[in-house]
Chains A and B, each alone.
Chain A
Amino acid sequence: MAAVTAGSGAGSGSAGSPEAAGGTTGGSGWRRPHGPLQRYYGPSTAEAAEAAPDPTDINGPHFDPEAFMTKVRSECPLGQLLAREAALGREIRALDSDMQTLLYENYNKFISATDTIRKMKVDFRHMEAEMDDLAANMAAISASSARVSAALQDRHRRGAQLAGVQALLRKLQALVEVPGRLRCWAGTEPARALRCHARARAVLRHYRHLPSFRAIEDESHAIMADLAQRLRTRLRCETLDPKELTECVEMLLQLEEPAEELSEEFLSQAGARLEAELAALEAELPAADPSGTATTPPPPASDILDFVDRGSSAFVGTLCQLAGSYRTLFGEDTGRLEPFASALATRYFALLERRLALERGLGDTSLLVRALDRFHRRLRSLLELLPAGADAAAALMARAARERVDRYLRALQTFFLGCLGDVRQALAAPRPPGKEGPGLPDLLATLAASVLGQLKAVLAYVQLFTARDVAFASLPYFKGEFCVTAVREGLVVAFVRWLCHTARGFADGPAERGAPAAPPALLLLLARLCLDYENSTISYILTLTDEQFPPQDSGPAVTPGPALCAEARAAAQRLLDHYVQVQGAAVAQMLRKSVETRDWLGTVEPRNVRAVMKRVVEDITAIDVQVGQLFEEGVRRAQSSDSSRRAFSVYSSSRAPGRYAPSYTPSAPMDTHLLSNIQKLFSERIDIFSPVEFNKVSVLTGIIKISLKTLLECVRLRTLGRFGLQQVQVDGHYLQLYLWRFASDERVVQGLLDEVAASAAHRCLDPVPMEHSVVELICERG
């Protein structure tokens, strides 16, 4: 219908916006026909708020017909007015019909409601009469009840009196029966007897002025005294377990026995018991060795964990129990308990320590750690009672741990020596022809790896002591001092130090006085090992240790890594120097013997390089190979472009007379060597047995220097003939040809050989040097 209205509105042609608005408003009203009724009965707040006070809204609550009319009349054109009138008329009709429909629908309900109200009015009149009846009956009942209760009051009072008398009599009966009961319970159930006596005692004491009660009291006293006596006897009996003991003493206390005496008695009993337990533990230990030196005791029957287990469960448990009961019995005053307990605890510690001392060997560390852990846990309860024992216990564990660490150190040392022995054997083992033995680098790697592996394994074992799940690891000692002093310093640092020291020992001690000398290869190997330690291994080990055993900030001072490195370096240097000396001495010895045993005067013209020189070159080549396996090449000083020119320049005929055949004027004998002295002033002084660097070239230079200096000194001690000189010349040239490439500075070799040649010329009766070309020819041929 609204659509039609709107359509007609639109169809009228001149539809403006106000018309459209009105149409919409009307539309909403039509769509909800019950809207106005609803609003009449109680418009919801929302709707009230929504309804703006618009007097022109025909459906609004504020509708003002006057205003509406005025508005419509003034605003709308005639056509629209007509249309609106018609619309309003239609609406009114529709509303009327709606009202009629509603009325018809609800009519029946009105009728039935009226009927119900009428019926109710009739019923209420009925009920009023019945209520009056009820009130009358109730009044009659209360009156008769009052009568009955008045009649019974007297009897009730008498009954209550009789009940009181009965209770009193029963109590008296109980009192009389007390001694009898006591007597019968005293034997079997002393606790019950005590309870009974305690109940009766107060009453008896209160009525003791009555003779009969007094008799009862005396009798029960006598029984109690007897009981006390019996209890005491029992107390002295050996076989009481701690619980019974406690009960016994508790009862005696209730009997008002003197606490002082009892506590003493208690302690002595407990002491006896604990002693017995200690003795049992002690029996497991082998007899103490008073001298401390005798043969090693046989291995203990049970392992340490077992021992500690038994010790803690038996002894510590009992001690705790007893101490606990002492406290509950005799109050907090522990003046007597403490010395008693600490004396016993000390003995227990001593026993445990002896047992720990039996743990020689390395056994199973985890077992030891577990044993100590258990000991510590058990002890904690005891320590609450006995704070003084804590230090002793901690010290005990610290000692045990320390001892174990020391053992590991020794084991490591033994292991290292074993490794060294293996290496020595490998070096000394005769090699089957054609088959190369293990190379030095392999040996070194094996040695280093096995030692490092062993060290790591040991660290892992030791770490058990500080594992998180071990209770005593949280003790301050194990947190701080153990890590630093025992493990870091006592184990790792000590081992590295020892290693360096042992290595040095090969260089310092040996051989000298006939002991079997270390083979040179071993010296070289150890030098490299020490150097490796200095370079990396030490810092690695220390880092590893610090990681596994974090040091405390406030802990004792630790040995810094660089100090250890320096030690290792010193050892390596010492070893390498010694190696150079040993090898140098070997070559030198060969040269010395060859010079000393030859007849230099009567020798024939040289045809060949002497065999010994070839041997020297061979040996040095071998050493070169050996050192090259382990050490880097090293830096060589720049070589002069042509070494041949300088070679044997001292033999040039122009200089030889000036230098080696001085005019022997007595006035100036010093001048004779002026030339050579001046020459020497400009050349560096050569230290023969000087420290070498860690590279191949330096090592070989050292060896060559030693050899050539020996040759020089030996030649100076001889007197040579012409051919002797020539032989030296040939040998020198040969050495120069083959040795310069080993040395770091060619000039060192050159200088020394020059000096050899010069000395040889000086010591020669008839210094006629060989033609240089011939020398070269012979050397090349050789």
Chain B
Amino acid sequence: ARALTPQTAETDAIRFLVGTQSLRYDNQIHIIDFDDENNIINKNVLLHQVGEIWHISTSPADKGVLATCYNKTSDTKVMTCAAVWRMPKELESGSHESPDDSSSNTQTLELLCHLDNTAHGNMACVMWEPMGDGKKIISLADNNILLWDLQESSAKAVLSSSAALEGKGQLKFTSGRWSPHHNCTQIATANDTNVRGWDTRSMRQIYCIENAHGQLVRDLDFNPNKQYYLASCGDDCKVKFWDTRNVTEPVKTLEEHSHWVWNVRYNHSHDQLILTGSSDSRVILSNMVSISSEPFGHMVDDDELSDQEDQHQEEKIKEPLQDSVIATYEEHEDSVYAVEWSSADPWLFASLSYDGRLVINRVPRALKYHILL
């Protein structure tokens, strides 16, 4: 399994969606609920019969809407398509069935619309407009960037504009991210060893980081709190941090993994926390204080903590944290292809490996308090 996403629109419950990959059996989308208080995992299964899921993403506005990229295989051809789906109402906000029952009532996704890609090639991923109302999505198909408008409550997808990457050889986008800054007018894409930035209004390239990595770039993420800052990872085992205003040199480079890094994710609220997943079967949580939006020693107020705790913690002498690896998680036995932060709890994350194991972890408590206080 490779596809993992948090339920973006859900802000209360910790919920992840996992898509399966199987060539010979019906594929499924598993909705994983994690009950933080009782430490219980609940699971609901939705059938996704059209093919194996390579990428999954959820609408930021509607809990029930998601998009998948899936492989359609015929005897001689494999085609990756994308579609927007709606899950059954009762599962939208999570049900509390016991896991034992789940086998009996598998339900099917309701197809909202296909993103027609017959003219554009294989879909690599689908991105929702981060702050939007769930009407705009962008998909990457081979060397095309396609911007879709979802109309009639997502029942119809209209291609509003597109851009193609021209160049010699077979160019293919591997991944992309939609920047939450600049009024959501920028996206970044990765193809081969390059990272490119695009303006969604004109669909023109605005910057290009040539040879961002020594080998293929696998994933990107924007710093959610700091404009222009971008993280990328790739087959050279490195994670690099860029200021897109200066594309010649990375701001910082991490070299902790011993194989390709497939995924990099900024924490949504504390952008010094960086999560990376790699095919060396490890997930690494790093603390990049020096390039985060938080200045050293600055206190972030968090109302969730009681006053008593506040006082207790304030007595501690705080020293600025250094850039460091916080933890290396080695629970996986096979390559980790996806890591994601929970959209509801900023201290929680999930990682998914090839063998289908999903692991949910928390940021270490000591560090959490250190950041909060």
Contact = CB atoms under 8 A, between A and B. Distances in A.
Interface in A711-745: 713, 716, 719, 721
A280 B320 CA distance: 63
B279 A709 contact: yes
Given A661-B24, A687-B258, A688-B280, A677 B355 contact: yes
A765 B73 contact: yes
Contacts of A687: 258, 280
B333 A512 contact: no
Interface stretch (B136-144, B209-217, B338-346): B209-217
Interface stretch (A197-205, A373-381, A384-392, A664-672): A664-672
A685 B100 CA distance: 34
A254 to B, nearest CB: 81
Nearest to A691: B258
B35 interface: no
B71 A719 contact: yes
Interface string A306-339: 0000000000000000000000000000000000
A669 B23 contact: no
B77 A601 contact: yes
B281 to A, nearest CB: 7
Contacts of A665: 103
A589 interface: yes
B23 A765 contact: yes
Nearest to A585: B215
A764 interface: yes
Contacts of A719: 23, 71, 73, 78
B290 interface: no
B214 A511 contact: yes
Given A585-B215, A677-B333, A666 B106 contact: yes
Contact of B26 (A664, A689, A762): A664
Contact of B215 (A589, A677, A685): A589
B354 interface: yes
Interface in B262-289: 279-281
Contacts of B333: 676-677, 680-681
A673 interface: yes
A763 interface: yes
A270 to B, nearest CB: 63
Interface in B58-111: 71, 73, 75-78, 99-100, 102-103, 106
A666 B28 contact: yes
A513 interface: yes
B283 to A, nearest CB: 14
A514 B356 contact: no
A602 interface: yes
B133 interface: no
A708 B20 CA distance: 25
A523 to B, nearest CB: 14
A229 interface: no
Interface string B240-265: 00000000110000000111100000
A135 B238 CA distance: 144
Given A665-B103, A672-B356, A719-B73, A713 B279 contact: yes
A690 interface: yes
Interface residues of B, number: 45
Contacts of B25: 664
Nearest to B100: A667
Contacts of B100: 667
A685 B278 CA distance: 14
Contacts of A511: 214
B357 interface: yes
Interface string A288-306: 0000000000000000000
B28 A601 contact: no
Size range of the chain A interface in the assembly: 35 or more
Contacts of B30: 669
Interface string A650-667: 000000000001001111
Contacts of A602: 76-77
Nearest to A759: B354
Contacts of B210: 514
Contact of A601 (B75, B248, B259): B75
A512 B73 CA distance: 38
B258 A666 contact: no
Contacts of B356: 669-670, 672-673
A676 B355 contact: yes
Contacts of A676: 333, 355
A597 to B, nearest CB: 8
Nearest to A582: B214
Contacts of A721: 75-76
Given A677-B355, A688-B258, A719-B78, A763 B215 contact: no
B335 interface: yes
A278 to B, nearest CB: 53
A713 B260 CA distance: 9
Contact of A673 (B24, B26, B260, B355): B355
Nearest to A679: B333
A588 B259 CA distance: 12
Contacts of A589: 215
Contacts of A673: 334, 355-357
Interface in B213-251: 214-216, 236-237, 248-249
A423 B19 CA distance: 54
A458 to B, nearest CB: 36
A514 B247 CA distance: 13
Interface of B: 20, 22-26, 28, 30, 45, 71, 73, 75-78, 99-100, 102-103, 106, 170, 210-211, 214-216, 236-237, 248-249, 257-260, 279-281, 330, 333-335, 354-357
25 contacts: A512-B211, A513-B211, A585-B214, A589-B215, A592-B216, A601-B76, A661-B24, A664-B25, A665-B103, A666-B45, A666-B102, A667-B100, A673-B355, A673-B357, A677-B355, A685-B330, A688-B258, A689-B257, A689-B280, A690-B258, A713-B279, A719-B78, A721-B75, A721-B76, A762-B23
Given A512-B214, A713-B279, A716-B354, 17 more contacts: A588-B215, A601-B76, A661-B24, A664-B25, A664-B26, A666-B103, A667-B99, A667-B102, A670-B356, A670-B357, A673-B334, A676-B333, A680-B333, A709-B259, A719-B71, A719-B73, A765-B24
